[in-house]
Amino acid sequence: MSEYKLATEAIDKTVDLALEDQRLVGAVVLVAQGGEVVYRRAAGMADREAGKPMTANALFRLASVSKPIVSTAALVLMAQGHLGLEDPVTRWLPAFRPRTADGREPPMTVRHLMTHTAGLSYRFFQPEQGFYAQAGVSDGMDDDRLSLEENLRRIASAPLLAAPGTEWRYSIATDVLGAVIEQASGLPLAEAVARLVTGPLAMHDTGFTATDAQRLTVAYANRHPEPRPLQQPDHLPFIEDTAGFTLSPARALDAGAYASGGAGMVGSAEDFLRLLETLRQGGAPLLPTEWVTAMTSNQIGNLPMPFWPGRGFGLGITLLKDPQAAQTPESIGTWSMGGTYGHSWFVDPVRQLSVVAFTNTALEGMAGAFVGELCQAVYDGLGEPR
């Protein structure tokens, strides 16, 4: 039992305001405190046009919420002795040999992939006609029917942005990690993740395609005065002078789409909270505590993280180093990430908190005002130890 007592009125007000302002169409928000779910709310609409309300067991396109799930699968393989953090990527993927712009082929390890220091990038971060666009690289969220193997070939044909270990860049590295997991486990990625992570935790709603099309929410995009349904495919601007996101909502139902370890999973908020709480409480039955400690400890030293001031990076997740620089009420050591389709989550071990907010509205639910407002509401409701 937590020494804190959560008051939930501020959370309700924050969710209500985002819906009233039509910044969000629908959301599922869960808060666990001291090992108990103390707040559970499904609000708004799963399908506005059909008049279908949001439900607690709704399914969402996870985008980058896939990363901690797939990273956990890699760590389980390490704990079992089947994969090494310092293994050269070429041990498992002999053909994956990207070079720097000057033609060098610096060594790349599994650690580099998991810490996003491999020198890779994302197409959506590059200019519209950047290296990845020229190579035809998929970010794992579009409707391109290429295979994982072919996408890796295209990634490797583009120059590295930096030698591995020298810079932190959020990237498609977790897709490469997915291919490593396939080789180390001897299983297709979807089957490996099911056997190593989602199966043991009874995360039955989580996989690389929607387990129930009827529960899959409609995806929306920010627009004034109200969000618009995403088209098939669709494009969302992101940061100025970058290509932005190419999204294919139907990918969530496409069993033929390659399993993107960084962006391709579908699941429920309840399932994901189960994973977060498992890790927060030490990792059993998935991982020994020392592997959770490694995952949730800063692994990149003082390398700067663009767009994430005050944070460091562990093995697949961001970590809070300086709350003042990050302008957040979270405790030092809090781990968090988000997802393009409209998701945010964080775990504050000091306060024994796990918070999951899955929405069906991009990009408000990932990078809009709602994310900070919800975080602040949780801490406003938490108060002082009792």
Residue 368 CB contacts under 8 Å (≥ 6 apart), including other chains:
23, 222
pLDDT along the chain (386 residues), means of 10: 75 98 98 96 98 98 98 98 98 98 96 98 92 96 95 98 97 98 98 98 98 98 97 93 94 96 98 98 98 98 94 98 97 97 98 98 97 97 66
pLDDT of residue 5: 72
Query: Does a cis peptide bond (omega within 30 degrees of 0) precede residue 349?
Result: no
Residue from 69, 80, 70, 73 nearest 276 by CA: 69
Residue 384: its pLDDT value, please?
56
354 is catalytic: no
Q: What is the reported pLDDT for 3?
A: 58
Q: Which of 2, 64, 147, 185 is the catalytic position?
A: 64
Tokens standing for residue 210: 């929607």
pLDDT of residue 4: 59
Q: What is the pLDDT of residue 243?
A: 87
**pLDDT score at 289:** 98
Q: How many CA atoms lie within 13 A of 357 on its CB side?
A: 31
Residue among 64, 67, 18, 65 at smallest CA distance from 45: 18
**311 vs 294: CA distance, rounded Å:** 16
